[in-house]
Structure 1
Amino acid sequence: MASTSASIEIAATAERVWQMIGGFNSLPDWLPYIAGSELSEGGRVRSLKTPEGEIIIERLESFSQQDRSYSYSILQAPFPATHYLSTLQVREIAEGQASLVVWSGSFVPAGVSDAEISNMFHGIYRDGLQALKLRLLEKN
């Protein structure tokens, strides 16, 4: 099993960041490579559409408003990985004046090396968190 994690500090309260990313259907609001999201199964499954028209289907595995985190698995995606489980969490730092957002995941590579799949997901997480930071700065 391979894994990776990325994090970013954002000059915004944890509550404000969580309002942007805490909804399981909110990825299109801040993640540029997700053009659309539709919920099914009572909000526990999301079907994501990329700008290229690819479909990614994910299941919400756990959610904590108190911890400002949720975990999800991938049911279907064009990625060379199986057994994917990821967590997105917002933590309060700087005496509540800033946030640390952590996006981590574990997965089993399928036809690629641990390093290749870890690097791929690390890039997605890193670029996604950077997009989140920019999006929040735009709203200031």
Structure 2
Amino acid sequence: MASTSVSRVLPASPQQVWDLVGGFDALPDWLPYIPESTALEGGRVRRLTNPDGDVIVERLVGFDEAGRNYTYAILQAPFPVTGYLSTLRVHAVAGRDDLAEVQWSGRFTPDGVSDAEAEELFAGIYRDGLAALHRALSV
């Protein structure tokens, strides 16, 4: 099994960040790679569409409002992995009310690619996503 994790400190309070990212169906609000999200099964599943029309289906498997994190599994996607499980967390930065650290991590089994290739793919997705989140919070 392979894994990767990316974190970034953002110019907003942890609650402001969580208010933007904490909704499982909220990706289009801050992630340009996902312009469309449809909630299914009472909000426990999201059907995402990227700009190329590819479909990604993800299931919420854990949610902690007080801890500001959620975990999800990919059910369907054009990625070369199986068994994908990811967590998005918002942390406070010690001594700073105006900053938050967001950590996006995942573990998965590469399928047809090396561990390093799969790890770099998702590290890039997470880095780009957190950069987009930074831009959304800076508006």
Bucket of the pairwise TM-score, normalised by the shorter protein: over 0.9
- Aligned partner of 1:47: which letter? R
For 2:9, the equivalent position in structure 1 comes to 9
Matched, 1:136 2:130: no
1:13, 1:22 → 2: CA distance? 13
Alignment of structure 1 residues 1-140 onto 2, 5 Å = 1-95=1-95, 96-138=97-139
Q: TM-score, normalised by structure 2?
A: 0.98
Which is helix-richer, 1 or 2?
1
- TM superposition shift of 1:26: 0.3
2:102, 2:43 → 1: CA distance? 23
1:43, 1:28 → 2: CA distance? 15
- TM superposition shift of 1:59: 0.1
Give the ranges of 4+ consecutive aligned residues of structure 1 lying more than 6 Å apart after TM superposition. Answer: none
What fraction of aligned residue pairs are identical, expressed as a percent? 55
Unaligned runs of at least 5 residues, structure 1 = none
Superposition RMSD on alpha carbons, in Å? 0.6
2:51, 2:72 → 1: CA distance? 21
- Aligned partner of 1:137: which letter? S
Q: TM-score, normalised by structure 1?
A: 0.97
- TM superposition shift of 1:97: 2.2
Secondary structure class of the residue paired with 1:97 = strand
1:26, 1:40 → 2: CA distance? 13
- The number of residues matched between the two structures is 138
2:115, 2:108 → 1: CA distance? 9
